[in-house]
Each structure stands twice: as C-alpha cells, then as structure tokens.
Amino acid sequence: MEGELTLTALRMALAHRTLQPGLVHHSDRGSQYASREYTELLASHQIAISMPRKGNPRDNATCESFMKTLKYEEVLRNEYRVLAEARASIREFLEEVYNRKRLHSALGYLPPAEFEAQRATQHQEAARRQLRA
C-alpha cells in the first residue's frame, strides 16, 4: 500500500504544480521510489532523480523531514478504511495544511504556497526590470 500511496502522491503533485526546468526529485532508497513505474513517471516529466548514497542518511534530510511530518501529523493520526479515503485525506493535508498553513524553517518560516507566490512575484519583477533596461 505504501508504494501505491507514494505513486498517487507523485501523480497528484505533478497534476497540481507548474514544473520548472531542472526540477530534481529527492527520495530515500526505498523500493517504492526505485520502482519502474515511479522512475518512468519522473523521467516522462524530465525530472532528475536524486537518492542518497548508500549508508549516508543526511544526503536527503529535507525529504526525510517531509516524510516524517506526513507520517506523524497525518497518516498515524488517522485510520483509513479504504485507499480512496487515504488518498483524499492525505491530499487535503498536503494542500490545506502542509502547503498553506504549516511554517517551514527552510523557507524563512513561510508556508510553501506563500513562498512560491513570493518567488513568482520576484521573478516577474526581475523580468519587467530587464525589459525596461
């Protein structure tokens, strides 16, 4: 079930985000991330795959932190009866809590959605300045 949920989470992320060139997907060395279906989906979107070196858990601390948050703040607090219920609940957690409300120290204590909006505004302003120059 974990592999299916992981693949579902990836499909959801790909459907709801604007992908930028050079995107890198970080994961641990789990079999669900190394599966043919998962890696082919990443490759079909031209996303580079990054896994930590064997025996070096700090290679991917940010991803590991996210997975810990998802596990302890959502998955372990619920009892899903069916896969569809798990998908819906995790989707809601990611979109409404993790991305819009939860503060992230690596993003200057902003939620990811707010951080992305600020970055987009900064890029637009920089592009306008270049056009005027």
Which tens digits make up the pLDDT trace of 14-67? Answer: 888 888 888 888 776 777 888 889 889 999 999 988 877 776 666 667 777 888
- Tell whether 88 is covered by a domain: yes
Q: Which pLDDT score is estimated for 60?
A: 67
List the beta strands (DSSP E) in 6-133. 24-26, 48-50
Round to whole Å and give the CA distance between 49 and 11.
Answer: 15
In whole angstroms, give the CA distance from residue 132 to residue 12.
38
Q: Flag whether 131 is in a domain.
A: no
pTM of the model: 0.55
Long-range contacts (CB closer than 8 Å, 24 or more residues apart) made by 82-91: 83/1, 83/4, 83/5, 86/1, 86/5, 87/5, 87/8, 90/5, 90/9, 91/12
Residue 92 has pLDDT above 90, yes or no: yes
Tokens coding 123: 């890029």
Give a yes or no: residue 15 inside a domain: yes
Task: Give the C-alpha separation, 35 to 77, whole Å.
Answer: 28
Establish if 118 belongs to a structural domain: no
Contact 27, 33 (CB under 8 A): yes
Query: Does residue 17 belong to any structural domain of this protein?
Result: yes
User: Which residues contact residue 4 at a Cβ distance below 8 angstroms, ignoring those fewer than 6 apart?
Assistant: 83
The whole-chain average pLDDT of the chain stands at 86
Quick check: is 128 in a domain? no
The tally of domains found in the chain comes to 1
Could you tell me the residue range of the domain that residue 34 belongs to?
Answer: 2-102
pLDDT of residue 58: 66
- Reported residue count of the chain is 133
Residue 80 to residue 82: CA distance in whole angstroms: 6
